[in-house]
Amino acid sequence: MSCFLSNSSLGRKLVMSISGCFLVLFILFHMSMNVVAIISADGYNAICGFLGANWYALAGTAVLALGVLVHFVYAIILTIQNRRARGNVRYSVTVTEKGVDWASKNMLALGFVIVLGLGLHLYNFWAKMQLVELLGGHTNALGYSPADGVALIRYTFSQWYYVALYLVWFVALWFHLTHGVWSMFQTVGWANDTWYPRLKCLSNIVATLVFLGFAAVVVAFFVSSLL
């Protein structure tokens, strides 16, 4: 089984699909959690306190990091494999449509943008929250409590350049998800003529919800900083 998942093309695509599904579920959870910051500062900070340097949060962080690493490494492996097999033609799909052509042909480039955005996000939030708690600190470099997530969001998104960078990140994530979500189901054989339109619609809905949820937090806090 392990040889199938690591050595065969279908096995690698299956690993990509499973890890991708896990990451999509996490992104939806994270987006929903962030939206709470707009509704209730106390509610969001309570969530941050619950997801601090506790064993379950640390275990979840480790599993998430592994999921990102596996997904990204397998994406690179599959891209190299397909380029060797088809020259400059990248990973082709069973069903094609003009609306997904650009995203499907640039999934790795979009992935690099997303990973860079993730690095920025870890620097702005994880390093000033969970990491501070792990090191035994009571305040971060900005002087905030590591459990005061709202204060950190307010500070970060009062800076226009972070707003711009995060919105670019969310756009890349939108494109990645519009192709990636239905591609997960294609790998297990669901993307036929009947299911393709439904899965494409589902992909667009998921990607748009993620984009709007994350962007709403960034824009709301930026606007509030101008008032």
Domain ranges of the chain: 2-226
Confidence (pTM) = 0.86
In terms of Cβ atoms closer than 10 Å to its own Cβ (0-12, 13-18, 19+), residue 216 is middle
Q: Which helix (H) or strand (E) holds 219?
A: helix 195-226
Residue with tokens 């069973």: 94
CA distance 223 to 23: 30
Question: Mean pLDDT throughout 38-61?
Answer: 91
The structure tokens listed for 212 are 């709007």
Does residue 133 register a pLDDT over 80? yes
Closest CA to 30 of 210, 226, 218, 220: 210
Worst-scoring range by mean pLDDT, 5-14, 17-26, 154-163? Answer: 5-14
- Which of the two residues, 194 and 77, has the higher pLDDT score? 77
Higher pLDDT, 214 or 50: 214
Mean pLDDT of 40-51: 93
The per-residue pLDDT for range 200-217, each reduced to its tens digit, is 888 899 999 999 999 999
Residue 26: band (very low, low, confident or very high) from pLDDT cuts 50, 70, 90:
very high
CATH class, range 2-226: mainly alpha
| Position 25 pLDDT exceeds 60 | yes
The string of pLDDT tens digits covering residues 65-119 is: 999 999 888 888 887 877 776 654 444 444 444 444 677 778 888 989 999 999 9
Query: How far is residue 187's CA from residue 15's CA, in Å, rounded to a whole number?
Result: 10
pLDDT of 170 higher than 50: yes
CA-to-CA distance for 215 and 117, rounded, in angstroms? 14
Task: Using a pLDDT cut of 90, give the percent of the chain over it.
Answer: 54
Length of the chain: 227
Question: How confident is the model at residue 191, as a pLDDT?
Answer: 61
Q: What is the pLDDT of residue 6?
A: 55
| Chain mean pLDDT for the chain | 85
What the block records as the tokens of 34 is: 């962030």
